[in-house]
């Protein structure tokens, strides 16, 4: 399940997340972290975003919601693309919590499988 804790520079928690998905676990978790940190998405946006995967083969698997621009750039780099469903459950099922600046807990659950974000 690859439970992952991302810390701020001061050592306090920023987000915790994990996902099932066999060989796709690490890329799934990495994409969520990148979506939040690099693309300033909130937790649910990061989880909902389309995913890509490559396992040292020539074909990149991707969810059909990936932009045409991104697909074109990947092909220009010499990649073969293998389109998948819009929300393919083989791309993991992330459940995550992000710690807001004000101390609130911001949860997210993956629509690719059953899940729900709750707080108490």
Q: What pLDDT score was predicted for residue 81?
A: 94
Beta strands across the sheet bearing 13-18: 4-7, 13-18, 95-99, 105-109
Q: Which of 116, 87, 104, 98 is nearest to 16 (CA)?
A: 98
Domain of 44, in residue numbers: 4-107
Q: pLDDT tens across 49-108, in order?
A: 999 999 877 799 999 999 999 999 999 999 999 999 999 988 989 999 999 989 899 999
48 domain-assigned: yes
Classify 91 as helix, strand or coil: helix
Measured between alpha carbons, how far is 74 from 10 in angstroms, rounded to an integer?
37
Measured between alpha carbons, how far is 97 from 50 in angstroms, rounded to an integer?
19
Classify 97 as helix, strand or coil: strand
- Could you tell me if 6 and 16 are in contact, meaning their C-beta atoms sit under 8 angstroms apart? yes
Q: What pLDDT score was predicted for residue 38?
A: 98
Mean pLDDT computed over 10-20: 94
Q: What pLDDT score was predicted for residue 55?
A: 83
120 domain-assigned: no
114 domain-assigned: no
53 domain-assigned: yes
- Rounded to two decimals, the pTM is 0.89
30 domain-assigned: yes
Domain count, the chain: 1
79 domain-assigned: yes
Q: What is the CATH number of the domain that holds 71?
A: 3.60.20.40
Measured between alpha carbons, how far is 61 from 90 in angstroms, rounded to an integer?
10
Q: What pLDDT score was predicted for residue 120?
A: 60
Classify 55 as helix, strand or coil: coil
50 domain-assigned: yes
């Amino acid at each position: 399940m690859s439970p992952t804790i991302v810390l701020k520079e001061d050592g306090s928690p920023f987000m915790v997340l994990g996902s099932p998905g066999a060989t796709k676990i690490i890329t799934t978790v990495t994409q969520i972290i990148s979506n939040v940190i690099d693309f300033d998405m909130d937790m649910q946006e990061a989880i909902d975003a389309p995913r890509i995967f490559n396992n040292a083969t020539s074909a990149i698997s991707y969810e059909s919601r990936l932009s045409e621009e991104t697909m074109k750039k990947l092909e220009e780099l010499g990649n073969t693309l293998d389109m998948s469903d819009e929300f393919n459950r083989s791309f993991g099922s992330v459940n995550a919590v992000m710690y807001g600046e004000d101390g609130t807990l911001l949860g997210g659950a993956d629509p690719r499988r059953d899940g729900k974000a709750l707080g108490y």
